[in-house]
Structure 1
Amino acid sequence: MKSIFPLMLLFLSAAASAEEVKIPWKGDYSHNSNKHWSKDNPYDSGFSKNFKNGTPEEFDEVQKDGELNAFIYSPKDVRGPTPFVILLHGCDGLGILSKEWAAHVANVLNPQGVGVLVLDSFTTRYVDRTCGPADLHWGRRRADDAYSALDYLIEKKLAKANEVYLMGYSNGGTTTLVSMTAQETDHPHRFAAAFAVAPGCSPELAPVVWTAPRWI
């Protein structure tokens, strides 16, 4: 036990620390519409100009504007814009396991001069989880979340505009793939590449045009 305690202190001292920020959500793009979610319109409503769009997970609420919680792990002793990775949680939200995964990624990337932004799509929408049969609704909704975070990093001069990468797990992986399709090219900035970890399978992604390298 005496030998383990110093190792624990060493690990804790080496762990990355995060700054919590609020990111304005942007969804007023030509690929989106004002259609609300309904049983007859479960998927296309993912392309929404509304921060909340009336899904059962949102208790049927519709809200035009909003903001997202995010946590930024910045490299130490680095000045000026740096490369960044934006991380997207899965269908069960930003829970303990997702936070541990994010901290691990930051501990690996920060010493290499790469920042990490962990994006929370659910808390400010009062959504607990979106798990169930794979569909593209939340992948489409959260793509605008990812681009809002990209805009934030560039506007705050935290990230190099051409060196921001997207990585997501499960539903976050589906969101990552949606974000790299040609339908999303009306955003002012682009991701350099994407890494989708265990994304949900959807036949609707098969015929799309991709805009940047991606790894699954």
Structure 2
Amino acid sequence: MRLRLTALFLMLLMSAASAAPAPQQVDIPLSSGILHAQLFKPEGEGPFPTVIALHGCGGLGSHSEPVLPRYRDWAMRLLKTGNAVLWPDSYGSRELGPQCRVKEMHVSARRERVIDIAASRAWLMKQSWVARDRVSLIGWANGASALLWAVRPQVATARDPGPDFRAAIAFYPDCRISAGLGWSTRVPTLVLIGANDDVSSPPACRQMVEGAHGRSALARIVVYPGAYHDFDRANTQLHAAGGSNDAAAPEHGHLGTDAEARAESQKDVAHWLTR
């Protein structure tokens, strides 16, 4: 009986995986090479609202899959609401693995990843299926930190021809540098973080957002009570990152799913993108 149930479970998993649309790899020109990206696009000609989604320090994919399950989950949710999703692979494009525990970063959130964001936006502006006035940003951890740099008024993208980003959503970024530099945004920006996040800093993110009031585009923060880093990642038991040898995990702090915060963040994302 147990063997039959196991076989049925595996068949259901395989069926679900085959039903999920496969991403298409696209190549985006950079001044120093090619930025590989994975594209999830609804069926039809569009134009579609589009999200540029930014992976964390663990990277976008693995040897066996171009987009990790945690990011594919978000891609499927965004697809269901009619969004196309473009995932630039900032590390794989430069033949790098996870950068969570690397002492000397070869790809900086403040420089190379902002360049990747600008290149992704420029590529999207040339695609006929894109609703050019409805391109938004979502980032996680290191990708969210890059997002915070990319939406600052000083960034060159703000002076490029064509519509700017419609909205930006940052999941648990490291706000400490931005808070100290007097961060502001030219794009409506939402920061989502767990109150117990001991990888990033909820107080720094609150200080950063509150400090931008009155001299910035709309900026909001949601702090989910009791939630830790990676709260939106499904089926992840709360654990200490420092207790593992996982190169795709931070060196310190705790990671794990918070079912309530995960559900609330999904609603908050949907609302922010359609407001």
Compute the TM-score of the two structures, normalised by the length of structure 1. Answer: 0.72
Give, as a single letter, the amino acid of the residue that structure 2 aligns with 1:153: L
For residue 137 of structure 1, report the CA deviation from its aligned partner. Answer: 4.0
Confirm or deny that 1:86 pairs with 2:57: no
Gap change, CA 1:11 and 1:129, over 3 Å in 2: closer
Structure possessing the higher relative contact order (Cα contacts under 8 Å, 6 or more residues apart): 1
C-alpha distance after superposition, 1:129-161 (max 9, x if no partner): 43358x994333211211211111120223111
> Among residues 56, 71, 77, which one is paired with 2:38 in the alignment?
71
> Among residues 107, 125, 129, which one is paired with 1:158 in the alignment?
129
Confirm or deny that 1:198 pairs with 2:172: yes
Gap change, CA 1:144 and 1:187, over 3 Å in 2: farther
Give, as a single letter, the amino acid of the residue that structure 1 aligns with 2:112: R
Q: In 1, distance between residues paired with 2:78 and 2:178?
A: 33
Select the structure of larger CA radius of gyration. Answer: 2
For residue 211 of structure 1, report the CA deviation from its aligned partner. Answer: 0.4
In the alignment, structure 2 segments of 5+ residues that lack a partner are: 192-275
For residue 66 of structure 1, report the CA deviation from its aligned partner. Answer: 1.4
Tell me what 1:124 maps to.
Answer: 93
The SS at the match of 1:166 is strand
Q: CA RMSD in A?
A: 2.4
Give, as a single letter, the amino acid of the residue that structure 1 aligns with 2:69: E
The SS at the match of 1:80 is coil
Tell me if structure 2 keeps the 8 A contact 1:192–1:212.
yes
Task: Give the total of aligned pairs.
Answer: 176
Confirm or deny that 1:105 pairs with 2:78: no
In the alignment, structure 1 segments of 5+ residues that lack a partner are: 26-63
> Among residues 24, 27, 46, which one is paired with 2:29 in the alignment?
24
Tell me what 1:34 maps to.
Answer: none
Give, as a single letter, the amino acid of the residue that structure 2 aligns with 1:158: W
Tell me if structure 1 keeps the 8 A contact 2:45–2:129.
no
Compute the TM-score of the two structures, normalised by the length of structure 2. Answer: 0.58
Alignment of 1:33-44 (within 5 A): none
Tell me what 2:235 maps to.
Answer: none
